[in-house]
Amino acid sequence: MTGLQSCVALLLTFAQSSSYPPPFPRVGATALLDNGRVQVWNVAWPKGAPTPLHRHPYDMTGLYYAPGDRMITAVDGTKRPVTTQAGGIAWQLKGVKEAAAGANTSEQDVRALEQLWNDARARADVATLDRILADEWTVTHANGTTDTKARYLADLKSGARKFSGSVTESDVVVRFYGDTAIVTGSSDSTVSLNGQAQGGALHFTRVFVKRNGAWRMVVTQATTRQP
């Protein structure tokens, strides 16, 4: 599967209930516009990086920037190869359920959100973080301070909280307890808050819950990792 990029506009006619999450946000997708009537995403399908099984709750129009190939898996397990050319336009009605490259497990869904969380906060992508985090989300930092979702996003948006470079992870383990997922691992980042250093070498624990078919992060906690 070669790399492929497109610009996708989702026409917000009305949402439908579904047992599958929506296609966005996800790794490789960046929000460009959301005005309550239409959402516009810049989307990439990186080679070797499958996307989870999902449902399209809105009508969709896509414009492809680059040529590429991918394998689409339907909800019944059938597969079909798709080849698109640069400049091509795709139309899709709401309600289609599919996965790119056959990924359909809950663990892949949660790991994809975990990566999206790290990428979005490193870029100060507040719109994406707002979708990933539950409204009641809290984070307890390694220094013992706690932030609400509103305060954390406000600090990123204002530039008070700044990441230098990417956030890397290792030794990540995902455990499931019904519709709750516990993610543990180690991370490294360089981040400051009002000029004071935070981040660094950490151990983390994150809690995700599944609501209306979509995983959302509800709690994050970090401690300093000893050498």
Indicate which CATH number applies to the domain containing 145.
3.10.450.50
Our count of domains for the chain comes to: 2
Cis peptide before 52 (omega within 30 of 0): no
What local confidence, expressed as pLDDT, does residue 2 receive? 42
Pick the residue with more confidence: 99 or 203?
Answer: 203
CATH number at residue 62: 2.60.120
Strand partners, 64: 6
* Boundary of a domain, candidates 36, 70, 100: 100
Contact (Cβ atoms closer than 8 angstroms) between residue 48 and residue 83: no
For residues 131 and 56, membership in a common domain is answered with: no
Question: What distance in Å separates the CA atoms of residue 106 and residue 47, rounded to the nearest whole number?
Answer: 21
For residues 9 and 116, membership in a common domain is answered with: no
Instruction: Mark out the alpha helices in the chain (DSSP H runs).
Output: 106-122, 126-132, 149-158
* Boundary of a domain, candidates 51, 73, 100: 100
For residues 15 and 80, membership in a common domain is answered with: yes
Checking if the pLDDT of 14 tops 50, the result is no
For residues 95 and 127, membership in a common domain is answered with: no
Checking if the pLDDT of 116 tops 80, the result is yes
Pick the residue with more confidence: 86 or 133?
Answer: 133
Checking if the pLDDT of 139 tops 90, the result is yes
What is the number of other CB atoms lying within 10 angstroms of the CB of residue 155?
A: 17
What local confidence, expressed as pLDDT, does residue 23 receive? 81
pLDDT digits (tens, 9 = 90+) for 155-206: 999 999 999 989 999 999 999 998 899 999 999 999 889 988 888 999 999 9
What local confidence, expressed as pLDDT, does residue 121 receive? 93
* Boundary of a domain, candidates 40, 67, 100: 100
Question: What distance in Å separates the CA atoms of residue 117 and residue 204, rounded to the nearest whole number?
Answer: 13
Expressed as residue numbers, the domain containing 23 is: 4-100
For residues 91 and 138, membership in a common domain is answered with: no
pLDDT digits (tens, 9 = 90+) for 204-215: 999 999 988 788
Checking if the pLDDT of 46 tops 70, the result is yes
Distance separating the N- and C-terminal Cα atoms of the chain: 40
For residues 36 and 90, membership in a common domain is answered with: yes
For residues 113 and 209, membership in a common domain is answered with: yes
What local confidence, expressed as pLDDT, does residue 161 receive? 95
Checking if the pLDDT of 226 tops 80, the result is yes
For residues 70 and 113, membership in a common domain is answered with: no
Beta strand 146-148 pairing with 161-163 = unpaired
For residues 89 and 112, membership in a common domain is answered with: no
For residues 111 and 191, membership in a common domain is answered with: yes
For residues 57 and 117, membership in a common domain is answered with: no
